[in-house]
Structure 1
Amino acid sequence: MIAQARITSDTTATVHLADRSVEVVGADLPEIRDRIKDVFISSAKEQDRDIDVVIVEPDVRHHLQVEPTGRISARDADDRPMYGPDDDEPLLPAVTDPDSAASEACAVSAASAVSATSAASASAESTGELAAVRPHGGRRRRAAAPVADSAASSGSAVSAPSAAPAPSADAAPSSDAAAQPAPAPESRPLTPRTAPPADDRPRLQDLQTQTAKLTRVRATRGFPGFVTRLTGGRIAPAPGRAEQADIARLERIQRPLEGPRNIAVVNLKGGAHKTTASLMIAATLGVSRGGSVLAWDNNETRGTLGWRGLPTDHHRTAVDLLHGIDGLRAPGASTTDLDPYVRPQGEMRFDILASDEDPGSAALIDDTAFADLDEVLSRFYRLKVIDTGNNVRASNWLASVRSADQLVIVSTVREDTFNAAAWMIDELRATGLGEQVDHAVTILSHGSKGKFDATLRKRLLAHFGAHTRAVTEVPYEKQFADGTHLDWTRVSKPTKEAWLDATALIVDGL
C-alpha cells in the first residue's frame, strides 16, 4: 500500500501512513507542502527504505518516491491501494479551531453527519460554490473518543449547546449573586482528555512553525529608504515595487531545500559559455545563500573551470579526490578533510572542484566514479553546479544529467551553439531523458555587446521556449571575454541582476 497526504485547505492536511495518521498545519499552502514532505522523509528514514507516496490536492495528484536521504522524485501513477480514504473521496477541511473540536466530537451519529452534509449542500447552492464534505467517520478523534463511545452505546445523537453570552464588564454582580456558587454546566458533558501518543506530541519545531511572524519589511532604497534612515526607523515606509520584487527574488533563491541538489549545465558545443554560466550560478548562489555551494568540473577531457576560478596553493583535482575518497567516507570526516581537494573562491562563498589537466587521467572519471564522487560531495554541499563536457555519449556526462535535479541548457545567440543545443535536446529525448528537458531552464548568453541577429534570437526563444520550462537572457559582460578568473567586484550590476533572475528560476525547479 501507498502512503497518502490529503491537502484539505491552504493551511491544513492529513498524512496517512501505515501505522498512524498525522495532522499537518501551516501558515500557507507552500508551508503545508513542505511539512508533508518532512513527514514522508521521516517515515522513509524510520523504515530505512524508499517509499511511494501520493499527495492529493483538489485538482491534482502528485505521485512521488521519497528516499531516506531526503531526495524526492516523480514516479509513474499506478492502481495500488492507499492508506487512508480513497483517492476520489472528496476532501474535507480539517478542524483547526480548538473550540470547534468539542462540537465535532459530539456530532458523531449518522443523523448528525447527514444533517451536516445537507447543510453544506444547501450552503453551496445558495452561494454558488461547491462544498467538499467527507463523512466524519474518516477522521481520527483522540480526545473525543470517550464521548463518541458514549453516544454510540446510547444510540442517540448528542449535540453541543450554544455558548452563553459573556457578562458585560460594566455590570457589577449583586451581593446575592456573589454569594451563590456558580451553577455546574450540566448541559455540557465533560470530555476526559488523554495524552496523545509520544510520537504525535508537538515539538519545538511545530511551535516555531505555527508561530506567526509579523516582521515588517522596511524600505532601504530610494526616498522611502532615506526616510527610514533619517528617522532611525521610527518612520519606516514599505519598500517600493522594485525593492519588493528584489526581496521576493532573493527569498526564492534562499528558500530551504530538502536535501542536496545537483544543477547540471549542458551544451555539446565548446564556447557556449557553459563554464561562465557554471561560475556565475555558483557565485550567485554562494553570495545569496551564504555558502555550501560547489562548482564541479565534470569534463570528460580537460576542463577550464579550475583556471577560471581564483587560484589556490594546490592543483589537486577530482582525480585526486577519487583516490582519497575512502577517507572522506569515514564517519568522522569533516569539511577540513575536503579542503586539500577544492579551491575556495573567497567572498563569492563557493568552492571549485577542478577536472584533471591530463586527458588520460580525466578518463578515470566514468559514470561509476561520478556516482562515488557525487555521494561523498553531497555530504558537504547543499548545492553542486556541474560543468559538463561536449560528449553526449560519455558515461560521466550522462551520469551528471541523470543526477540533475535541474538541467540548465546554455547557448550563445549563434547558429552553431544553437544547433548543438537543439541536437542535444533531440538526443536526450530519444534516450528517455525528455522529462529532464521539460523541466530544464535555458539561458541565452549574449557573447558580444549590442551585436546579435534579432531574427536568430527570436528563433532561439521560440525553440527553447517550446522545449524547456523557462528561458532567460544574460547580457554581454566584458570581464568574461578575456577568459581570466572570475572577479566578482568587476561584474557589472546589470549582469548580476540578470544572473539573479536566472538563478531564481533555477532554484524554483529544485
Structure 2
Amino acid sequence: MTPKKTPDPREDDAMGMLDDAASVATAGIGILGGTAQVSVAMPQEHEDDLADEAVIDGEVDEAVIADIVFEDAAPAATAAPVPAAVEVIVERETEPELVPAPVVAPVPAPVKEAVPVETPKKNVAPRAVPPEVTLTSKRLGELSGANRESADLLTTDRLLDPHRLTKPEPEGSWSHLLYSISGRRINIGDGRRARERKALSARIAAPLPGGARFVPVLSRKGGVGKTAITALLGMALADARDDRVIAIDANPDRGTLADRIVRPQHTKSVRDLARIHDQVADYHDISAVVARDATRLDVLASDADPRIAEAFSDVDYRDVADLAAHYYSLVLTDTGTGIVHSVMAATLDLADRIVIVSGLSVDEARLASETLTWLETNGFEERAHDAIVVLNHSTPGTPLVRVNELEAHFASRVRNVVQMPYDAQIAAGGAIVFANLQPETRLAARRLAALLIEGLRTEASA
C-alpha cells in the first residue's frame, strides 16, 4: 500500500513571488537588504506580433531588461547578477492576493517601435543578367557557313534506303534472262553496258545551279559538221535532262539547224521571236515559235526567206538570248562560218563554255587550232583553255590523217577532245532521229554532253 503523499504548501504558490503582487503589472520581489520594485509592461497583442514579439525562443528582449528599476536598494546590497535570459511566466488570476508592500504607481513603459528583424542572407553571387538579344530574320543569301548544302545534294541515292526499295527489272541479256526464268525472283542487277549507260545519263542529268548557261559551237570552215554537232549535243542533253534545252540558229545568213529536226512544216524563225520579245509573257509564247523533236530539244530556226535582205544582227541575238535565259537552263548556239561576223561578239560575250568542231583534214585541223589562237589573243584565253574540241568523222572509211596526232595536239591546248564517228544518217544531211543513230554515235554524243555538264558544274563551284 502506497503511503499518502502530504501536500506541499509551496505547490499552491503558482506565481511564486509574483503571486502576492498587488497587480499584474507590479510585483514585489524580496531581496536581502531591501525591497526591489519591478515594473513589467505586458506586451499588447497586435496583428504582426508573430513577426516582431519581444520574446523569441525563450529569450527576453533587451528592451524588457532595460525597464527593470531597482528602488531603495541598499548600497551594500549586492544583488545577484541578472541573468541574460529570464523566463517570465505570468498566469492571470481573478483575485490575486496582496502582500504588505508599499504601493507604487505603475510606471508605463515607453512604447518602442518594433524593429523588423532582418534575416541574415547567405553569401550568394549576384546573378548575371543576360544581354538583350535582338531577333532579326535573315534571308537565305545572308546566311553564312561552309557547311551549307544546296538542293541538288538531296538525291535519291542519298535519302532513300536501298534495302527498302524494289529493284527495277534488270537490263542486259544475261541478267534479264536469269530474272525471267526464275519467275522474277533472282535479280542480279543490270549488266555492264547498262550500268555504264545509266552512269553516263546521271552525269548528263546533273543539276546546274544558277541561271542559264550559253554554249556556242564554233567553226572557221564550212562543211565540217558544225550544225550536226550542235543538233547531236542538244539531243543528248535534252534526252537525259529534266530541264529545258534550246538550240538557236544564229547564222547571219541561211542556217540549216531546223532541217535537222523532224518538223519540216515549221515556219517560225529566230527573227519572229526577236520581233515579239517585248510581248512574251510565259513559255507558251515561246513554244509557239520554236520546233521540238522527240528528245524534247527546242530549236529556233534561222530565216529561210531569201527575200530578207537584213541579216540577223548582234542586237537581235541579245534580245533572243535574254528571253532564252528566262525559260531555259542550257542555250546552244549554232554560229555562222567564221568568228568575225556580227553575231559572234555577243555570242562570245555570253559564252560559259565553247565547243569547236574540226574536220579530219590538214587545213580543217589548222583552222580549228587557229581559232583557239584567236580566242587566246582577243580576251577569251580562259574560254579557249576550257573548250571542247570535236574531231568529226564526216566521211566513211579510215581518214588520211593520223587521228591520234590530232587528238594529242588539241589535248595540249584544251580541256577535252571528243571523236564523233561517222554515221550515215548524219552524212545524208536530213533530219536526225536520235534513237535511230548508231550506238557508237549516240555514245559519243552523250560523252560530249557529260563533259560539257561537268565543265559547267566545275565552273559554278569554283
Smaller-chain TM-score bracket: 0.5 to 0.7
Corresponding residue for 1:269? 221
Corresponding residue for 2:446? 500
Does the 8 A contact of 1:411 with 1:445 survive in 2? yes
Does the 8 A contact of 1:342 with 1:354 survive in 2? yes
Corresponding residue for 1:253? 204
Deviation of 1:209 after TM superposition, in Å, equals 10
The 3 A distance-change label for structure 1 pair 505 and 208 is: closer
Corresponding residue for 1:14? none
Task: Determine if the alignment matches structure 1 residue 297 to structure 2 residue 249.
Answer: yes
- What is the aligned counterpart of 2:144 among 21, 41, 56? 21
Corresponding residue for 1:340? 288
What one-letter code is carried by the residue in structure 2 that aligns with 1:492? Q
Corresponding residue for 2:433? 487
The 3 A distance-change label for structure 1 pair 360 and 285 is: same
Task: Determine if the alignment matches structure 1 residue 428 to structure 2 residue 375.
Answer: yes
CA distance in structure 2 between the partners assigned to 1:393 and 1:278 by the alignment? 20
Corresponding residue for 1:393? 340
Corresponding residue for 1:239? 190
CA distance in structure 2 between the partners assigned to 1:473 and 1:380 by the alignment? 31
CA distance in structure 1 between the partners assigned to 2:141 and 2:442 by the alignment? 49
Deviation of 1:252 after TM superposition, in Å, equals 0.2
CA distance in structure 1 between the partners assigned to 2:285 and 2:398 by the alignment? 47
Higher relative helix content: 1
CA distance in structure 2 between the partners assigned to 1:206 and 1:291 by the alignment? 17
Aligned-partner SS, 2:331: strand
Aligned-partner SS, 2:253: coil
- What is the aligned counterpart of 1:310 among 227, 249, 262? 262
Which deviates further from its counterpart, 291-300 or 213-222?
Answer: 213-222
Corresponding residue for 2:404? 458
Does the 8 A contact of 2:204 with 2:240 survive in 1? yes
Aligned-partner SS, 2:337: coil
The 3 A distance-change label for structure 1 pair 422 and 210 is: closer
CA distance in structure 1 between the partners assigned to 2:448 and 2:309 by the alignment? 30
CA distance in structure 1 between the partners assigned to 2:362 and 2:426 by the alignment? 20
* Structure 2, unpaired ranges of 5+: 1-139, 457-462
What one-letter code is carried by the residue in structure 2 that aligns with 1:472? V
| TM-score, structure 1 normalization | 0.56
Does the 8 A contact of 1:301 with 1:363 survive in 2? no
Percent identity (aligned): 28
Corresponding residue for 2:279? 327
Does the 8 A contact of 1:220 with 1:226 survive in 2? no
Deviation of 1:354 after TM superposition, in Å, equals 0.8
CA distance in structure 1 between the partners assigned to 2:248 and 2:437 by the alignment? 21
Does the 8 A contact of 2:218 with 2:339 survive in 1? no
Deviation of 1:416 after TM superposition, in Å, equals 2.4
The 3 A distance-change label for structure 1 pair 498 and 217 is: farther
CA distance in structure 2 between the partners assigned to 1:207 and 1:322 by the alignment? 38
Deviation of 1:299 after TM superposition, in Å, equals 0.8
- What is the aligned counterpart of 2:239 among 273, 287, 293? 287
Q: What pairs with 1:200-219 in structure 2 (closer than 5 Å)?
A: 211-214=159-162, 219=170
Does the 8 A contact of 1:217 with 1:239 survive in 2? no
After superposition, the C-alpha distances for 1:3-38 in whole angstroms (9 at most, x for unaligned) are xxxxxxxxxxxxxx996534636xxxxxx5x56xx8
- What is the aligned counterpart of 1:221 among 172, 175, 186? 172
Deviation of 1:283 after TM superposition, in Å, equals 1.2
- What is the aligned counterpart of 2:424 among 465, 475, 478? 478
After superposition, the C-alpha distances for 1:207-245 in whole angstroms (9 at most, x for unaligned) are 999745435866311312332344455322133443322
Q: How many residues align?
A: 314
Does the 8 A contact of 1:322 with 1:373 survive in 2? yes
Q: Whose radius of gyration is greater, 1 or 2?
A: 2
After superposition, the C-alpha distances for 1:39-60 in whole angstroms (9 at most, x for unaligned) are xxxxxxxxxxxxxxxxxxxxxx
Corresponding residue for 1:372? 319
What one-letter code is carried by the residue in structure 1 that aligns with 2:356? I
Deviation of 1:509 after TM superposition, in Å, equals 1.3
What one-letter code is carried by the residue in structure 2 that aligns with 1:227? L
CA distance in structure 2 between the partners assigned to 1:356 and 1:208 by the alignment? 44
What one-letter code is carried by the residue in structure 1 that aligns with 2:387? A
CA distance in structure 2 between the partners assigned to 1:484 and 1:350 by the alignment? 17
- What is the aligned counterpart of 2:350 among 389, 400, 403? 403
CA distance in structure 2 between the partners assigned to 1:371 and 1:310 by the alignment? 27
Q: Which has the higher contact order (CA 8 A, sep 6+)?
A: 2
Deviation of 1:477 after TM superposition, in Å, equals 0.6
* RMSD (Å), alpha carbons: 2.9
The 3 A distance-change label for structure 1 pair 310 and 482 is: same
Aligned-partner SS, 1:378: helix
Deviation of 1:265 after TM superposition, in Å, equals 0.9
After superposition, the C-alpha distances for 1:313-368 in whole angstroms (9 at most, x for unaligned) are 4412111111111111xxxx2222113311122x2211210111357858553333
Deviation of 1:311 after TM superposition, in Å, equals 2.5
After superposition, the C-alpha distances for 1:389-416 in whole angstroms (9 at most, x for unaligned) are 1231223113212322221111121122
Corresponding residue for 1:437? 384
Does the 8 A contact of 2:253 with 2:312 survive in 1? no
After superposition, the C-alpha distances for 1:98-124 in whole angstroms (9 at most, x for unaligned) are xxxxxxxxxxxxxxxxxxxxxxxxxxx
Does the 8 A contact of 2:388 with 2:415 survive in 1? yes
Corresponding residue for 1:133? none
What one-letter code is carried by the residue in structure 1 that aligns with 2:179? T
CA distance in structure 2 between the partners assigned to 1:244 and 1:440 by the alignment? 28
The 3 A distance-change label for structure 1 pair 216 and 437 is: farther
After superposition, the C-alpha distances for 1:120-153 in whole angstroms (9 at most, x for unaligned) are xxxxxxxxxxxxxxxxxxxxxxxxxxxxxxxxxx
